[in-house]
């Protein structure tokens, strides 16, 4: 049994989640709780620690030789967990998914081209698009009684000749939506009709709760394989974000050649050995750990949803099919967004991600990372209860 209740002190360890909190949020209280960036406060699977320890003890840290074992470990994992066949020859390692997205943009679009997002959506999508001098075309998700849906008819009206590519987040961050095979096929058909590339960022695909099943876009719609790039990683799954390794996968050799040319042009064809060793070990040894993690996170999700809605009457937490990023709409509390933000930051001393970061549709929302030991989660919820106490006094 893994002890996910164990609290590991992360302050003063270059943990961005903890050590960047004051700088980014202005919350300087020594007991502040970070519930923003998407990493977990849990130790990695023991097999990862063992692989890294062996490397450290060998104490020779020269250039890493990619002998093919890494992509094979990824392929074996995807076959086992998701029933997806990946040929290692389709895989291009990148220093993380966001950098992969930037390289994809450079490979298949020009400055000024438009990239479709389905906001509210992962904020780094917006940043990497703008940083590459491409433009964002927002196709806001529709909230259908607590579950997000894509509105492809509305998107069709907005397309221009400069629209070249769609960034899909599957499962979706924030909101944790697991897209159905039908939804993915409809999107795929849309991309074919409109001659668009599709990037399917599936970094959260392993963090799916009971009753839901992730379908890789490539499996749902193999007919669009030629215009599809899937992004996957071991870093969210096994809490290895600092390893900064991801993979872009495409069956289309011409597309892969373009992407690899960009990787080469940026000098990124030689990989970070520690990251490769850690992530390969995750895929090879981390399965039992992940199964236990999912049970723990699901209990955190259930506890959080119940208590946040009790704490702040009118608040609604979107039911997560996947991810550990609780997504809470405070509009029903009757409070202004600035008041909610103030209560959470100042009274509860919690740094949650502001909903506006995620683009249109995020305004009255906050995102809370619940992947933390239960004692910390309970403390956070107790503080939130206090922060909204006056709302309950009139009940
Ligand atoms: C959807 C999504 N893609 C990518 C990333 C980050 O990936 P990386 O750290 O590999 O760039 C995150 C992190 O939260 C994410 O939520």
**Helices 273-285 and 69-82 meet at what angle, rounded to 10?**
30
With the most atoms of ligand 1 within 8 angstroms of its CB, the residue from 126, 128, 236 to mutate is 236
Going by pLDDT thresholds of 50, 70 and 90, the confidence category of residue 175 is: very high
Asked if residues 4 and 291 have their Cβ atoms less than 8 Å apart, the reply is no
Segment (H or E) for 135 = strand 135-138
Mean confidence (pLDDT) of the chain: 97
Q: What percent of the chain has pLDDT over 70?
A: 99
pLDDT tens digits, one per residue of 48-59: 999 999 999 999
Q: Ligand 1 centre and the CA of 233: distance in Å?
A: 9
pLDDT at 293: 98
Going by pLDDT thresholds of 50, 70 and 90, the confidence category of residue 334 is: very high
Determine the average pLDDT of the residues in 107-136.
Answer: 98
- Residue 169 CA: nearest ligand 1 atom is 1
Say if residue 252's pLDDT is above 70: yes
Tokens of 63: 């250039």
d(CA 74, CA 78): 6
Going by pLDDT thresholds of 50, 70 and 90, the confidence category of residue 393 is: confident
- Residue 100 CA: nearest ligand 1 atom is 11
pLDDT at 300: 98
pLDDT at 395: 58
Whether residue 93 has its Cβ less than 6 Å from ligand 1: no
Q: Ligand 1 centre and the CA of 199: distance in Å?
A: 13
Going by pLDDT thresholds of 50, 70 and 90, the confidence category of residue 107 is: very high
Whether residue 118 has its Cβ less than 6 Å from ligand 1: no
pLDDT at 394: 65
Q: What phi, psi does 134 have (nearest 5°)?
A: -100, 170
With the most atoms of ligand 1 within 8 angstroms of its CB, the residue from 120, 128, 203 to mutate is 203
Please name the residue whose Cα sits nearest to atom 4 of ligand 1: 97
Determine the average pLDDT of the residues in 333-338.
Answer: 96
């Amino acid at each position: 049994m893994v002890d996910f209740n164990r609290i590991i002190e992360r302050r003063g360890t270059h943990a961005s989640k903890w050590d960047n909190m004051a700088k980014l949020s202005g919350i300087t209280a020594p007991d502040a709780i970070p519930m923003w960036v998407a990493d977990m406060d849990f130790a990695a699977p023991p097999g990862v620690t063992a692989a890294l320890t062996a490397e450290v003890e060998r104490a020779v840290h020269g250039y890493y030789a990619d002998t093919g074992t890494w992509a094979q470990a990824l392929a074996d994992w995807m076959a086992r967990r998701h029933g997806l066949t990946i040929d290692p020859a389709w895989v291009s390692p990148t220093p993380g998914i966001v950098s992969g997205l930037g390289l994809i943009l450079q490979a298949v679009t020009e400055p000024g081209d438009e990239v479709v997002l389905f906001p509210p959506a992962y904020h780094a999508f917006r940043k990497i698009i703008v940083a590459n001098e491409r433009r964002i075309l927002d196709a806001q998700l529709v909230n259908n009684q607590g579950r997000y849906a894509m509105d492809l008819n509305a998107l069709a009206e907005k397309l221009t000749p400069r629209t070249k590519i769609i960034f899909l987040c599957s499962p979706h961050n924030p909101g944790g939506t697991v897209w159905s095979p039908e939804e993915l096929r409809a999107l795929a058909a849309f991309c074919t009709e409109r001659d668009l590339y599709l990037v399917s960022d599936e970094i959260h695909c392993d963090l799916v709760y009971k009753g839901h099943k992730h379908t890789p876009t490539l499996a749902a719609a193999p007919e669009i394989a030629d215009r599809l790039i899937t992004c996957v990683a071991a870093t969210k799954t096994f809490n290895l974000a600092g390893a900064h390794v991801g993979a872009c996968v495409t069956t289309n050799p011409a597309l892969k050649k373009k992407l690899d040319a960009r990787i080469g042009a940026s000098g990124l064809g030689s990989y970070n050995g520690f990251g490769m060793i850690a992530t390969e070990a995750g895929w090879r040894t981390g399965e039992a750990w992940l199964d236990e993690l999912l049970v723990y996170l699901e209990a955190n999700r259930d506890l959080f949803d119940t208590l946040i809605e009790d704490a702040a009457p009118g608040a609604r937490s979107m039911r997560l099919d996947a991810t550990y990023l609780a997504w809470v709409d405070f509009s029903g509390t009757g409070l202004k967004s600035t008041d909610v933000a103030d209560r959470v930051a100042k009274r509860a001393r919690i740094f949650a991600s502001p909903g506006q970061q995620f683009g249109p549709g995020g305004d009255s929302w906050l995102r809370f990372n619940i992947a933390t030991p239960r004692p910390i989660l309970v403390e956070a919820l107790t503080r939130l209860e206090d922060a909204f106490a006056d709302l309950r006094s009139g009940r």
